Amino acid sequence: MNKDESSLTSLISAFGRAYHSQFDTPKIFDDHIAKKLISPKEYNDIKENMVQGIPFFNKEIAEKYKGNPDEILKWITQVQLSPTPLARAAYCEKILRNEVRLGVKQYVILGAGLDTFGFRHPELESTLEIFEIDHPATQEFKKKRLEQVDLKIPGNLHFIPMDLTNTLSYEKLIEKGFGYEKTFFSLLGVSYYLTKQELSSLLDQLFAKVPTGSSIVFDYADRRLFEEKGFSNRVENMVKMAAVGGEPMKSCYSYSELEKMLESSGLLIYEHLSPAKINELYFSNRKDYLTAFETIHYIHAVKK
């Protein structure tokens, strides 16, 4: 992963959140800070690339909305880009808020990208320590961008550069103030890009040094990932785009397979959301294009 690829991946995700915050109603997840992390040029470049790329996504939509770039952008963003990032963030932060009420003192965001949780929740600065872990290039890009837009880093937000495909360094976490306390982890948009062995090893390492009751929320792709086309071929397009972008999707799972993997790491599944359940919880009664992705599930697992 080079710097450009790293920052582009994060920017496109932030673009989807920013677009939703500005234009979509009702809100699934309102990241009102995301747009601050995207320069006007980056925003327009992503917009133009998406609009110009509509024939790849859907030739009928390209023809139907020819000459209407705003509707084309809405279609691509709501169908392809936004559904999973929005709903999984909404679910994760709902669980996190409850865990904080139950005594969680530490939040570790794995693959944080341009996450804005620490900036959106200043009320937690004295009660929750937040540790963002991501590839060094992505993290360097984010820190420079925060400086450029004059966003002050909260005192409880700590950056830890780390490659998640390698051994997790608890030493780096401890250096930033991480302790043996009840901890909540999020691993969003990452499991697909790890091999099964890498995910299993990461779970083992994460939960080896935290107490009982610590937990994790993550999303995963089911066994149909490489076969299911999805609405307007969006699942197939997602897999193709990842490969073309140099970050191919590597893994998909059955529920029982994940259950065994989590069990071997000392974890129990507390809640599992299927695509149908995600659609019911986050996308029902909408009048736009937003619907849950056909192959993506969410899990909340807790250390026994």
> So what's the pLDDT on residue 166?
81
Question: For the domain that residue 203 is a member of, what is the CATH number?
Answer: 3.40.50.150
Whether 200 and 258 share a structural domain: yes
CA distance linking residue 193 with residue 5, whole number of Å: 14
> So what's the pLDDT on residue 53?
94
Whether 134 and 22 share a structural domain: no
Whether 220 and 208 share a structural domain: yes
Number of domains within the chain: 2
Q: Is the torsion defined by CA of 59, 61, 192, 273 positive or negative?
A: negative
Backbone dihedral region for residue 245 (phi beyond 0: left; psi -120 to 50: alpha; all else: beta): alpha
| Domain-ending residue, one of 34, 56, 81 | 81
> So what's the pLDDT on residue 8?
76
Whether 17 and 92 share a structural domain: no
The one-letter amino acid code at 47 reads K
Whether 205 and 243 share a structural domain: yes
Residue carrying the six token digits 């691993």: 187
**26 preceded by a cis bond (ω within 30 of 0):** yes
- Give CA angle at 12 (68, 107), nearest 5°: 140
CA-based nearest residue to 218, from 256, 181, 241, 185: 185
Whether 202 and 94 share a structural domain: yes
Whether 71 and 135 share a structural domain: no
User: Which residues lie across from 130 on neighbouring strands?
Assistant: 107, 157
> So what's the pLDDT on residue 165?
81
> So what's the pLDDT on residue 173?
95
Question: Considering the entire predicted model, what is its pTM?
Answer: 0.95
CA distance linking residue 52 with residue 36, whole number of Å: 24
> So what's the pLDDT on residue 228?
96
| Domain-ending residue, one of 40, 55, 81 | 81
> So what's the pLDDT on residue 249?
96
Whether 10 and 150 share a structural domain: no
Whether 237 and 160 share a structural domain: yes
| Domain-ending residue, one of 37, 66, 81 | 81
> So what's the pLDDT on residue 5?
57
Residue carrying the six token digits 């234009």: 23
Whether 65 and 103 share a structural domain: no
* Structure tokens belonging to residue 24: 């979509």
Q: Is the torsion defined by CA of 175, 181, 184, 187 positive or negative?
A: positive
**Residue 140: how many other CB atoms lie within 10 Å:** 16
Whether 187 and 270 share a structural domain: yes
Which residue range(s) make up the domain with 244?
A: 83-303
CA-based nearest residue to 296, from 253, 246, 241: 253
Please give the average pLDDT of every successive group of 10 residues along the chain, which has 304 residues: 62 95 97 96 95 95 97 98 97 98 97 96 97 94 95 97 86 95 96 96 95 98 97 96 90 98 98 98 97 98 98
> So what's the pLDDT on residue 4?
52
CA-based nearest residue to 80, from 214, 238, 189: 238
* Inter-CA distances, 220 with 87, 113, 198, Å: 13, 18, 14
Phi/psi for 245 (5° steps) reads: -75, 0
